[in-house]
Amino acid sequence: MRRPPYEIVMKPYGTALVALARERSDIICLSGDLTRQTETDLFRDEIPDRFINVGMAEANMIGIAGGLARAGHTVFVNTFGVFCTRRCYDQVAMAVAYPNLDVKIVGFMPGLSSPGGPSHQAIDDIALMRALPNMMVVDLADATEISQAVRAVVERRGPVYLRLKRGEIPVVAEPSHRFSLAKAHVAKQGREACIVASGMMVPAALVAADVLEENGIATCVVNSPVIKPLDGATIVTAARGAGVVVTAENHSVIGGLGSAVSEALAEAGVGVPLRRIGVADVFAESGSREYLFDRYNLGVQNIVEAVWAAVAPKKPVPVAPAMPVTPGTYSPV
Amino acid sequence: MKNRARRRGKSPDDDRRGVAQASPSAPTSVGNLSKLATQIRLRAVHMVGIQGFGYLGQALSAAEIFASLYGGGLMRPGWDRFCLSPAHYAVVHYAAAAEVGRLDPEALKSYGANGTLLEAISTERTPLLDLTCGSLAQVISGAIGFALASRYAKDDRRVFAFLSDGEMEEGQTWEAAMFAAHHGLERLTVVIDANNSQVDGQVTSVTTLEPLADKWQAFGWRVSEVDGHDADALVAAMQSSGSERKPLVVIARTQILGRLKSVPMTADGHFLKLDPSLKQAIIEELEAQLA
């Protein structure tokens, strides 16, 4: 995978969805008054007869999606992550997950990437969706993977929660990279420490691993976009023998990637210390991504320190290089 | 009419199931629908009587609605969709389905028992329903999904959704009502069992839903308000598929105890205790109606 600063692309999801819907007439696109924000203005403009704006009524939107799916459609539900999980949890459970329908729920603006404060910050969406039987959970923030994931989640029968970064999407993986719903991706090898990351924390994990490597700690990075069902085998293999496993997620440390990895390691009997980088069971506040990721310890330096404290506690902690924010590019905090 | 003709057509299951009473071959006669409703109540009393308590009020309340839906020539099985919103009404669904020959009457004995397919609160496993949900007020949205799917498929399927009145306290009902009217879903018909009963007592004692007809009208629906114990009126109200690009709601005014004289007015209609003497009294009253 590439290193920052990353090239940015706009609307990789919306573009891929339109392309797939041109092939598959069963696809219906629902929006909840957040059409441009969920990249589905492309669908609305290109395939208007299969686009429905349900308005600000998420409970109804999920139910409608269920009815359409029962009649044979594949339905994409698009809104912010908070509104398609927290706001209508019972509807997702009963109208989509329990009947195991082909509804793909796409939640934008993950974790602390929203400046909108706790009402807009999906810090618990993965935990909520992960708890539902039949529901697959995917966390992505890379244009290369997003472009491929749209087809992959349609080909996987049943409900999927697809959690996507909003707005400027970095190109992290090489064009030759093949996205998989079945296998986690070992983005970098290393035996002394293991970082498992998803979504917006993948770039930070890559930079942190480089910093650690330069300071003598061979560190592997597992990019695990699919949080449920977790590819425990790949993670266990990567973690076995390491001095520490650090999970990195733009989500509460409760119920998300960190929890899933802990369960996989414990059940496999891998007795490696584990540290979870994520939102520390608090509601955050308004602010820019840079401000919030720094304030709530979701930065490169936080990952470096978590690894360092476990494997080389007596030596001075390396300092990650500053990540200059240049217009038109993307870098982790 | 096409749907009636199909209703009269004998299904391969009819002989096996030994349909004797209220056969769907004469679905529109008022006398027979009224009799069908009484037979539905009787079936329900026997089903609930096994355990001595259960959702009998739902069957007493909605017997005519189910008689008209299942025996009134309105729905083409396997084509039109039927969505049962309040899953606690499963009892009247089973009883009615058995009476019209779509369910083995023997199976009714397992109602509510461990391991049965005939669960007391209907689920994804429940036979013969296109949609149901024990968490109330969700089904109307799914019914809208069916109606949209029919529009995409350019077919003539109607979608019937049975609702109860108490669940209209949930906001989702009104999200859905707005949407269906905005999109002119004329193939969607909602029938509401307005029996003024919910778990904590009379709906009017909990909150104010009225004026129901005005509310639905204001939301953009065609509204018909009928005596919910008059099966003929119910069929007439539900017969007309919309022509003005509006969904139809039929408010069926009912009494939770089905106007039975043998049940004390103080009984809890939502979850009725049915001791042997009360059971016997109800059976006698219903059998007298059939005589």
pLDDT at B39 over 60: yes
In Å, how far is B127's CA from the nearest CA of chain A?
14
**Residues spanned by the domain of B107:** 2-11+28-290
Banded model confidence at residue A56, pLDDT cuts 50, 70, 90: very high
Determine the average pLDDT of the residues in B93-118. 96
- pLDDT tens by residue, A223-259: 999 999 999 999 999 999 999 999 999 999 999 999 9
DSSP label at A319? -
A103 chain-B contacts, CB cut-off 8 A? none
From chain B, pick out residues whose CB is under 8 angstroms from the CB of A96.
Answer: none
Which chain B residues touch A55 with a CB distance below 8 Å? 178-179
Contact residues, chain B, for A94 at CB < 8 Å: 133-135, 138
DSSP per-residue string spanning B187-207: TEEEEEEE--EETTEEHHHH-
Facing residue for B179 by CB, picked from A57, A91, A99? A57
- The answer to the question of residue B63 being in a domain is yes
* Continuous segment of H or E residues that includes residue B248: strand B248-253
CA-nearest residue to A73 within chain B is B149
- Pairing relation of β-strands A168-170 and A6-10? antiparallel
Question: What pLDDT is attached to residue B244?
Answer: 80
Higher pLDDT, B241 or B191: B191
The answer to whether residue B233 is domain-embedded is: yes
Instruction: Note the pLDDT tens digit of each residue in A143-201.
Output: 999 999 999 999 999 999 999 999 999 999 999 999 999 999 999 999 999 999 999 99
Partners of residue A83 in chain B, C-beta under 8 Å: none
Indicate the average pLDDT of chain B.
89
How far away is chain A from the Cα of B176, in angstroms, using its nearest Cα? 6
Q: Is residue B88 part of a domain?
A: yes
Of A55, A59, A70, nearest to B145 by CB-CB distance is A70
Select from A50, A103, A97 the least CA-distant residue to A72.
Answer: A103
Total tally of structural domains belonging to chain B: 1
**Which among A50, A60, A72 is the nearest to B176, CB-wise?**
A60
The chain A residue lying nearest B170, using CA atoms, is A59
- Among A321-330, B20-29, B190-199, B221-230, the range scoring the smallest mean pLDDT is B20-29
Cβ pairs A/B, distance under 8 A: 88
Instruction: Using pLDDT thresholds of 50, 70 and 90, give the confidence band for residue A83.
Output: very high
Q: Tell me the nearest-neighbour CA distance from B35 into chain A, angstroms.
A: 34
Task: Name the residue facing A63 among B138, B147, B178 (closest C-beta).
Answer: B138
B131–A70 CB contact, under 8 Å: yes
The predicted pLDDT at position B14 comes to 36
Q: Give the residue from chain A lying closest to B146, CA to CA.
A: A67
Residue range B59-98, pLDDT digits in tens: 999 999 999 999 999 998 889 999 999 999 999 999 999 9
Q: Do B141 and A70 touch (CB under 8 A)?
A: no
Provide the token pair at A92: 């997702």
Residue, of B23 and A90, whose pLDDT is higher: A90
Q: How confident is the model at residue B218 (pLDDT cuts 50, 70, 90)?
A: very high
**Domain-embedded: residue B110:** yes
Residue A227, both tokens: 């949080």
**What is the pLDDT confidence band of residue A31, given thresholds at 50, 70 and 90?**
very high
3-class SS of residue A187 = strand
**B10 pLDDT exceeds 90?**
no
- Res B27: pLDDT: 34
Calculate how close chain B gets to A117, using CA atoms only, in Å: 25
Residue B106 lies in a domain: yes
**Which chain A positions have a beta carbon within 8 Å of B179's beta carbon?**
54-55, 57, 60, 64
Nearest-CA distance from B93 to chain A in Å? 20
| Residue A226 exposed, middle or buried by CB count within 10 Å (0-12, 13-18, 19+) | buried
Q: Which pLDDT value is given to residue B54?
A: 87
Task: Mark yes or no for CB contact B141/A94 under 8 Å.
Answer: no
Residue with tokens 């498992």: A196
Q: What is the pLDDT of residue B272?
A: 87
The CATH number that applies at residue B213 is 3.40.50.970
Strands (E), chain A: 6-10, 27-31, 51-53, 74-80, 103-108, 136-140, 160-164, 168-170, 185-188, 193-197, 219-223, 226-228, 244-252, 274-279, 329-330
Residues of chain B contacting A54 with CB distance shorter than 8 Å: 179
pLDDT band at A319 (very low <50, low <70, confident <90, very high): very high
Residue with tokens 């019972």: A90
Mean pLDDT to the nearest integer, B25-47: 78
pLDDT of B265 reads 85
What CA–CA distance (Å, rounded) separates A27 from B273?
Answer: 49
C-beta separation of A86 from B202 below 8 A? no
* Alpha carbon distance A134, B50 (integer Å): 36
- Top residue of A60, A70, A89 to mutate, by most chain B CBs within 10 Å, is A60
Q: Looking at chain B from residue 71 to 100, which residues have their Cβ under 8 Å from any Cβ of chain A? A: none
Q: Name the band, by pLDDT with cuts 50, 70 and 90, for residue B241.
A: low
Q: Indicate yes or no: CB of A67 within 8 angstroms of CB of B178.
A: no
Start-to-end CA distance of chain B, whole Å, equals 32
Instruction: State whether residue A217 is helix, strand or coil.
Output: coil
- pLDDT of A18 higher than 70: yes
Tell me the pLDDT of chain A averaged across its residues.
Answer: 97
Identify the pLDDT of residue A221. Answer: 98
Predicted-complex ipTM score = 0.96
Say yes or no for a CB contact (<8 Å) between B142 and A94: no
pLDDT given for residue B242 in this prediction: 59
Q: How confident is the model over A206-219, as pLDDT tens digits?
A: 999 999 999 999 99
Which pLDDT score, from 0 to 100, does residue A317 have? Answer: 97
Q: CA-CA distances (angstroms) from residue B240 to B35, B140, B186, B224, B229?
A: 23, 20, 10, 11, 19
Which of A57, A65, A98 lies closest to B145 in CB terms? Answer: A65
Residue contact B141–A55, C-beta within 8 A: no
Are A95 and B130 within 8 A, CB to CB? no
Min Cα separation B177/chain A (Å):
10
* Partner-chain contact A66 B145, CB within 8 Å: yes
Sheet holding B159-164, edge to edge: B131-133, B81-86, B159-164, B188-194, B248-253, B222-227
The CA-CA-CA angle for residues B93, B265, B229, to 5°, reads 40
**Does the pLDDT at position B17 exceed 50?**
no
Query: With an 8 Å Cβ cutoff, is B142 touching chain A?
Result: yes
The pLDDT of residue B232 is 94
Task: Write down the pLDDT at residue B31.
Answer: 53
Nearest residue to B24 via CA among B39, B12, B9, B41: B9
Q: What pLDDT score does A112 carry?
A: 98
The identity of residue B132, as a single letter, is T
Handedness of CA B276, B282, B287, B288 (dihedral sign): positive
User: Within a domain: residue B23?
Assistant: no
More confident site: A260 or B8: A260
For residue B17, is it within any domain? no
CA of A136 vs chain B CAs: smallest distance (Å): 20
**pLDDT for the residue numbered B19:** 28
B231 touches chain A (CB under 8 A): no
**Is residue B13 scored above 70 in pLDDT?**
no
pTM of this structure: 0.93
**CB-CB under 8 Å, A66 with B149:** no
Which chain B residue lies closest to A56 (C-alpha atoms)?
A: B175
What's the rounded Cα separation, in Å, for the pair A179 and B136? 40
DSSP helix/strand/coil, B268: coil
| Lowest pLDDT segment from A4-18, A55-69, A127-141, B267-281 | B267-281
Could you tell me which residues of chain A have a Cβ less than 8 Å from any Cβ in chain B?
A: 28, 50, 52, 54-55, 57, 59-73, 90-91, 94-95, 98-99
Which three-class secondary structure state does DSSP give residue A86?
coil
Residue from B172, B178, B182, B188 whose CB has the most chain A CBs within 10 Å, to mutate: B172
Q: How many CB atoms lie within 10 A of CB A142?
A: 27
Residue A236 CB partners (closer than 8 Å, separation 6+): A264, A265, A268, A270
Q: Is residue B220 part of a domain?
A: yes
Residue A128 is which amino acid? L
How many C-beta atoms lie closer than 10 Å to residue A314's C-beta? 4
- Summarize the confidence of residues A22-27 as an average pLDDT: 98
Q: Is the pLDDT score of B24 beyond 50?
A: no
Confidence at B53, pLDDT banded by 50, 70, 90 = confident
Angle at A194 between CA A193 and CA A198, to 5 degrees: 150
CA–CA distance, A322 with A302 (Å, rounded to integer): 13
What are the structural domains, with CATH classification, of chain A?
Answer: 6-170 (3.40.50.970), 185-317 (3.40.50.920)
